[in-house]
């Protein structure tokens, strides 16, 4: 990691699966960064951000990755990496070899999936989205669905149709 007081590390988000890591370096307007992916670490250095200053970070991985299978995808504001773990297996307890909290490193909950989740469950990998799930459950209709009719709902009213809420309210004093 970089030493305190020298160069500012860019914000980094990460998520994992049994076989891969997702790492996103968030540094907007960064042109021609220096990126090195090695089995034990990821190195990123570039000038960018709103203040156009130098940002640098070295992430020492908890275990090894396969640099040959790395997929890099610059997205304008972010640099996304998909890294393949050398050993498939249980989730890593953390991204870094160091057992400490870094202010610039956060979990990417948009990509995170718990270890015990299966691929058939929701999310992008399962091929089902929230709207489709809600449509199947009978909520949140799509564009062609009719509006719900609340008059048809059985709310447990008395047999004569009277509701306990229909009683006269006492006057306020």
Residues 77 and 135 in one domain: no
Phi, psi of 118 (to 5 degrees): -100, 165
Cα–Cα distance for residue pair 16/115, rounded to 1 Å:
9
Using pLDDT thresholds of 50, 70 and 90, give the confidence band for residue 167: confident
Using pLDDT thresholds of 50, 70 and 90, give the confidence band for residue 160: low
In the chain, % of residues over pLDDT 70 = 69
Residue 90, domain extent: 12-109
pLDDT on residue 125 = 42
pLDDT surpasses 50 at 101: yes
Q: Is residue 6 situated within a structural domain?
A: no
Give the pTM.
0.64
CATH of the domain at 62: 2.60.40.790
Question: 118-145 burial string, b = 16+ CB within 10 Å, else e?
Answer: eeeeebeeeeeeeeeeeeeeeeeeeeee
> Tens digits of per-residue pLDDT, 3-57?
455 789 999 999 999 999 999 999 999 888 999 999 999 999 999 988 889 999 9
Residues 136 and 92 in one domain: no
pLDDT surpasses 90 at 164: no
Q: Is residue 163 situated within a structural domain?
A: no
CB distance 21 to 85 below 8 Å: yes
CB distance 81 to 16 below 8 Å: no
> In this structure, are strands 12-16 and 105-107 parallel, antiparallel, or unpaired?
parallel
Residues 31 and 57 in one domain: yes
Q: How many CB atoms lie under 10 A from the CB of residue 14?
A: 22
> Tens digits of per-residue pLDDT, 74-92?
887 899 999 999 998 889 9
Residues 81 and 129 in one domain: no
pLDDT on residue 21 = 94
């Amino acid at each position: 990691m970089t030493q305190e007081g020298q160069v500012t590390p860019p914000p980094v988000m990460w998520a994992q699966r049994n076989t891969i890591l997702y790492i996103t370096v968030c540094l907007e307007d960064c042109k021609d960064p220096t990126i090195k992916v090695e089995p034990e670490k990821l190195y990123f250095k570039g000038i960018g951000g709103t203040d156009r200053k130098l940002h640098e970070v070295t992430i020492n991985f908890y275990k090894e990755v396969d640099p040959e299978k790395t997929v890099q995808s610059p997205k304008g504001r972010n640099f996304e990496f998909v890294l393949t773990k050398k050993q498939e297996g249980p989730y890593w307890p953390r991204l870094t070899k160091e057992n400490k909290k870094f202010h610039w490193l956060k979990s990417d909950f948009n990509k995170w999936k718990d270890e015990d989740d299966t691929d058939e469950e929701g999310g992008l990998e399962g091929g089902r989205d929230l709207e489709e799930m809600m449509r199947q459950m009978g909520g949140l209709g799509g564009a062609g669905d009719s509006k719900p009719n609340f008059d048809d709902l059985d709310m447990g009213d008395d047999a004569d149709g009277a509701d306990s809420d229909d009683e006269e309210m006492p006057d306020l004093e």
